[in-house]
Amino acid sequence: MHLQSSNLICWLSITSIRGAAGITFENVEHTFDTLQTWYNSSTGLWMPSTGWWNSANCLTMIANLAAIDDKIKDRTKDLWQEVFNNAAEYNKQMTQAHGAFWRRKLPLELEYRDATDEDTANVGFLNGYYDDEGWWALAWIAVYDLTLDQKYLDKAVQVFDDMHNAWNTTPVGGVWWDRSNTYVNAISNELHFSVAAHLANRRPDQKPYYVDVALNSWLWIYGSGLINAQSNIEDGLWAKDETGLNLPKVWSYNQGVILTALTELDQALQQPLYTAMAKLIADAALANFTSMLDTHDPDYIIHESCEPTCDDTSSLFKGIFVRSLARLHAVAPEDRYGIVLMKNAESLWRNVDQWNRLGSVWNNTTVGAGASAQCAGMDLFVGALGTLGEWEGDGVYEDGKAHSQ
Ligand SMILES: *[C@@H]1O[C@H](CO)[C@@H](O)[C@H](O)[C@H]1NC(C)=O
Ligand SMILES: *[C@@H]1O[C@H](CO)[C@@H](O)[C@H](O)[C@H]1NC(C)=O
Ligand SMILES: *[C@@H]1O[C@H](CO)[C@@H](O)[C@H](O)[C@H]1NC(C)=O
Ligand SMILES: *[C@@H]1O[C@H](CO)[C@@H](O)[C@H](O)[C@H]1NC(C)=O
């Protein structure tokens, strides 16, 4: 085919825009526009593209983005209240529709009861899963950090109280995954630890209480057997019918939540005791999810075992991991973490499609696009921008920053 030279120039310049992999606030603002096409203001959730707990993670990511990008902060000033009201209302309706699904454990009793009107009236961000509750608690803490509006912190405290009611009620200690007591897993316990550690730094009047809870939660995780010989955190520990224990065992988000929890605990204790443990877990995760240690052909791209067919649950996991890796890098930097953030962000941006959708495989054309993969990818950009600053074109990592070439 014969190309007119003017067409050729035009084609080349379009290609070079798409081929430029630098990360700027403007790029991320475009991905935010795309994310909001999946947002449903009547529920305050990114549904039906993704689900309940996933939406909590999208909210966390957006609050973290708004904290470093004034344009997004301005655009989201009404979002927090809308989610606060409408997502709670949605949850109330769901709880009423599935009354038996809400079963509050009576103190010191092993019996369960169905939801009463009183339960559903005050359901807020509580449901049958302690991990879902933990994600919402962290989301409201992120919104509190941004807005300093006390009601968001109060909400996180209320949610945490419910999670903490499940503490030490399982056959093996820790908290349950679910209110119907079928599984004891890593994520619910890591979230219990993380929310307690966050609250220790945000409620000075209650600090000794939250430090004590966080420390006990960490000591339980450390001694539970969830951390394997490779320093990877496995998914679960105890299951009523053992099914959960046969699932693929090492997911990236389980290696992520703990990193932030450990750095928050150090901040509360004013001593860098646990950050070293966070680095051990982060390095073990990077050894597992990337081939960066390959001496012949190191590759820094993070892969989840479900790729390329991750669903809208598992396509969020890597975002949670890199959000936490970026947090670790912010408080205790290591060049290898900066390089991982830079290389993954560039690779993902190189693969963005014409609608600014992000895929769930960070080195492939957009596969599995939707609100989950979008939020996960944006977590990567937010983590990279927050720690490395903006850069254009293929970057060079130097002096702890990504520089344009
Ligand atoms: C938003 O959510 C409501 C309530 O679930 C639903 O009826 C409506 O169809 C959703 N809107 C879109 C555009 O998906
Ligand atoms: C990741 O870790 C799991 C469990 O520790 C192990 O079975 C798997 O082989 C590891 N994968 C890689 C690529 O190291
Ligand atoms: C890459 O994406 C294509 C679809 O765009 C898919 O068919 C393929 O399986 C993916 N490969 C990997 C390794 O993710
Ligand atoms: C992405 O990376 C994986 C693991 O290194 C590799 O197997 C795959 O071929 C890569 N995909 C593309 C499209 O380059």
**10-39 confidence digits (pLDDT tens):** 444 343 345 578 999 999 999 999 999 999
Annotated domain spans of the chain = 22-83+125-404
Report pLDDT digits (tens) over 223-241.
999 999 999 999 999 988 7
Report pLDDT digits (tens) over 294-304.
999 999 999 99
3-state secondary structure of 403: strand
Specify the pTM. 0.93
Tokens of 270: 């004013």
Ligand 3 centre from 101 Cα, in Å? 38
Our CA dihedral for 72, 74, 79, 80, rounded to 10 degrees, sits at: 100
Ligand 3 centre from 308 Cα, in Å? 6
Which CATH number is associated with domain 22-83+125-404? 1.50.10.20
Ligand 3 atom closest to residue 307's alpha carbon, by position in its atom list = 14
Q: Which residue(s) pair with 238 in the sheet?
A: 184
3-state secondary structure of 339: helix
Number of helices (H) and strands (E), helices first, in the chain?
15, 4
Ligand 3 centre from 399 Cα, in Å? 35
Ligand 1 atom closest to residue 48's alpha carbon, by position in its atom list = 14
Q: ∠ CA(99), CA(102), CA(107), 5° rounding?
A: 135
211 pLDDT exceeds 60?
Answer: yes
299 CB under 6 A from ligand 4?
yes
111 pLDDT exceeds 60?
Answer: no
- For residue 289, the model assigns a pLDDT of 98
Tokens of 123: 């359901």
Mean pLDDT, residues 330-346 taken together: 98
How far from the centroid of its chain's Cα atoms is residue 29's Cα?
19
Minimum mean pLDDT range among 114-118, 153-157, 231-235, 258-262? 114-118
Choose among 246, 378, 269, 262: nearest CA to 316: 378
Q: Which residues neighbour 22 within 8 Å (Cβ) at sequence distance 6 or greater?
A: 346, 349, 390, 391, 392, 393, 394, 395, 402, 404
Q: Are 83 and 44 in contact (CB under 8 A)?
A: yes
- For residue 61, the model assigns a pLDDT of 98
Report pLDDT digits (tens) over 244-274.
666 668 999 999 999 999 999 999 999 999 9
With b meaning 16 or more CB within 10 Å and e meaning fewer, what string describes 137-173? bbbbbbbbbbbeeeebbebbbbbbebbbebbeebeeb
Select the more confidently predicted residue: 108 or 87.
87
Select the more confidently predicted residue: 116 or 366.
366
